[in-house]
Structure 1
Amino acid sequence: MSKPRIYMVAAEPSGDLLAKEVVQKIRLDSPEAHISGIGGRELKSVGIDSPVDVSPLSILGFFEGIKAYGDVVRLADEAAAEIIKDTPDVVVLVDSWGFMLRVAQRVRAQAPDIRLVKLVGPQVWATRSGRAKTLASTVDHLLCIHDLEVPFYEPFGLKTTVIGNPAISRHVEGNGQRFREANGIPGDRQLVLVLPGSRPSEIKRVAPALVNAAQHLKRDNPELSLVFMPAENVSKYFKSSYSDVGDWALISDDAESRYDAMAAADLALACSGTVTTELAMQDTPMIVAYRTGWITWALARGLLYKKTHISLLNIVSDDQEIIPEFVQTRQKPELIASLAQQWLRDPKLLASQLARQRVALEKMKEGERDASEIAASVILEEAHLRRS
């Protein structure tokens, strides 16, 4: 039998990283597999050059997505054409719901014999549960993160496999002492890590509040060390937008020291997202901020979103605020800074926050196998199923 042919598609940095991890596991299990793909620097780092530039898809929110609709359709057309030309056995569509749905629909229409696997499903448990039916009619297999997702797809007969949370599976213990020594930060000095986002829209809407809150903290305690770590793909944008931050804080875009920085921090101020799970894994107390466009927010709160909170650690904790959230109108620098000051002045409050985070994190853990390992085995099974 000829070697299995697999095609990975990832449109955003988090999906690109997960795609790379799955590729590495596939190569361990099936070294003869032919793997092509569309993605970014993570897939490129494992030898997969993207024939399509998907960088325009770093968007956020419903209204922003409408404005970028032309790009989404054009890139979906280009992606489908490249996939069909490659003649894969299975296509793996990683995260990015709207774009991946369009790619899947185009491939299904033009090459119905290709198996389609969705890696990470839309959050149907939180908003727009009707997407479960849409996905079930489009792909052959869903690799989802949580057990709570499965019942949404069962009525429509979509095969699902729970892989667990990739952020937990990829956990690497950070070395806080190493980060402090490398950056000249004494071990007894308090350090606040600011994670302002991974998308241009987050740098525009969330970062201002976090920057101003950090300034409040620095004025309150000049001895405080502040470290900003924007995601690598938006680092230049952050530095150009907040050119004065480097005068009173360290700006680091060293992705290799990301977990070390988290482990070194006494407290983190973070844009809501996957990073909250990563911080919890490094046992770092955190405060979360988030703001999106008002049309997006109005639609979400009025029609779509079913939960009170937005952070996954809060949602798995029966939708209780384990992690403090400062969202939309509450995303005010003075509110964020005030809570941070209370915590930094009282070790008991920091310890209490850590204890709550640990309980929430335990609720997110599922099984002993890595998420990428489970995903790789399912993808290879789907490839062999198509070939047989």
Structure 2
Amino acid sequence: MSAPPARPLRIFLVAGEHSGDALGARLMMALTAQRPGISFSGVGGPRMTGAGLNSLFPMSDIAVIGPAAIIEHLPHLLRRIRETAQAAIEASPDVVVIIDAPEFTHRVARRIRRARPDLRIVNYVSPSVWAWRSWRAARMRAYVDEVLALLPFEPDVHARLGGPPCTYVGHPLIERRHWINALDPQGLRERLGLSVERPLLLVLPGSRRSELARLWGPFTATLEALRATGHRLDVIVPTVENVREIVEERVKHWPFPTHVIEDEADKFRAFKLASAALAASGTVTLELALAGCPMIVAYRVDRLALLFRRLVRPPHFALANLVLGERAFPELMQESCVPEELAPALAALLTDTPERARQLEALARVPEAISMGTPPAIAAAMRVLAHAER
């Protein structure tokens, strides 16, 4: 008599931010392509829902960023943490995958591990233990069976800090490199009426209201300093829907013709057209690097965040620099995030200077530094299946 067919795998996923929702959706599609019939449950956003997840509650319920916001919403977040962990325990999945958003997902993972130490837990996207709160790496060993890293240096960091087993699966941006390369930027120039005589500057102060509050002042003062020294520029500010209205109102006071764009393809077209970018530290530095755009990286965190973070001193803060293992792109953080330093650094990139040539050489090395033979979503899916099938 033939053996009964194996039951479908059950995978419980937890994502807490829009970036995690995108990663989770790609992971789910890669998993289904390799093992049709997988049953998904957990918490996710619209992309994961579209890929087949029946989310316990809207992901927007838990998408709060920063220590101050977390404190304000703490009772609600704690309730959602309990509900999510209990749902995972009751679902008895073959594997749990927590995706980014460590302030939420790691608390869920710890509760699951206490109640069901037999359930395997995979952490997709390493917390930034190389930048701050490095002690988290060792603590994660108690409730994470494997970390799937987006950045090539992270496995070595976890090994050095005593963290869980960590595997580099590749950054999802590398999957988009060919799409970025195929974009024709000239149509955007014509649609926006950009001058071929003036350099184009990108200004990227972040997509969160807290980032805008901290960076808008120094970025605006930097533009005013550039105008005072005789520069004539066109400016583009790529943004997202939730802050577009704020950005459009504020750029009215800027000293150069400024265009606000939201479309993602247009964002990368602008990256390819621009002479330089003034960018908040984050994933956007890798996006700029893949598009070949020279940049100055700047950031400020509030005092409360500094108290919570117990900052250590990594060699670099910008992801593009960390990937290369060198400070190829200037990092002007905290006290250095002022127009007196930002404006001269940007001016050195707006014309053919040795600094610009040096950055262009470094930009050409970034794609190779993060590329892998296997697409990242497939590499991540293979590791998740390895745990699910145990």
Q: What range is the shorter-chain TM-score in?
A: 0.7 to 0.9
Aligned to 1:309: 316
Distance in 2 separating the partners of 1:221 and 1:59: 41
Match of 1:177 among 182, 186, 191: 186
Structure 1 216/85 Cα, relative in aligned 2: closer, same or farther at 3 Å?
farther
1:227 maps onto 2:236 in alignment = yes
1:327 maps onto 2:333 in alignment = yes
Q: Secondary structure at the match of 1:343?
A: coil
Q: Identity of paired residues, percent?
A: 31
Q: Residue 139 of structure 2 contacts residue 163 of structure 2 at CA under 8 Å; is this kept in 1?
A: no
Amino acid of the residue matched to residue 311 of structure 1?
A
Q: Secondary structure at the match of 1:27?
A: helix
Q: Residue 61 of structure 1 contacts residue 293 of structure 1 at CA under 8 Å; is this kept in 2?
A: no
1:27 maps onto 2:22 in alignment = no
Encode CA deviations 1:175-228: one digit per residue, 9 max, x unaligned: 322322333324554211111112221111123322332344456667522111
The number of residue pairs the alignment matches comes to 381
Q: Residue 266 of structure 1 contacts residue 285 of structure 1 at CA under 8 Å; is this kept in 2?
A: yes
Distance in 2 separating the partners of 1:299 and 1:4: 39
* TM-score calculated relative to the size of structure 1: 0.85
Distance in 2 separating the partners of 1:209 and 1:157: 37
* TM-score calculated relative to the size of structure 2: 0.85
Distance in 1 separating the partners of 2:158 and 2:209: 33
Aligned to 2:374: 369
Q: Residue 126 of structure 2 contacts residue 147 of structure 2 at CA under 8 Å; is this kept in 1?
A: yes
Match of 1:260 among 247, 269, 272: 269
TM superposition shift of 1:237 = 4.4
Which segment drifts farther, 198-207 or 340-349? 340-349
Amino acid of the residue matched to residue 267 of structure 1?
A
Encode CA deviations 1:24-57: one digit per residue, 9 max, x unaligned: 2223222322223423343345354533234365
Q: Secondary structure at the match of 2:14?
A: strand
Structure 1 283/88 Cα, relative in aligned 2: closer, same or farther at 3 Å?
same
Structure 1 205/80 Cα, relative in aligned 2: closer, same or farther at 3 Å?
same
Amino acid of the residue matched to residue 184 of structure 2?
N
1:294 maps onto 2:303 in alignment = yes
Gaps of 5+ in 2: 1-5
Q: Residue 317 of structure 1 contacts residue 363 of structure 1 at CA under 8 Å; is this kept in 2?
A: no
Distance in 2 separating the partners of 1:281 and 1:107: 38
Q: Secondary structure at the match of 1:354?
A: helix
TM superposition shift of 1:271 = 0.7
TM superposition shift of 1:90 = 1.9
Structure 1 216/251 Cα, relative in aligned 2: closer, same or farther at 3 Å?
farther
Distance in 2 separating the partners of 1:230 and 1:187: 23
Task: Map residues 14-53 of structure 1 onto 2, 5 A cutoff.
Answer: 14-48=19-53, 50-53=55-58
1:271 maps onto 2:277 in alignment = no
> Which 4+ residue blocks in structure 1 deviate beyond 6 angstroms?
none
Structure 1 247/77 Cα, relative in aligned 2: closer, same or farther at 3 Å?
farther
Structure 1 366/342 Cα, relative in aligned 2: closer, same or farther at 3 Å?
closer
RMSD: 3.0
Gaps of 5+ in 1: none
Distance in 1 separating the partners of 2:252 and 2:286: 29
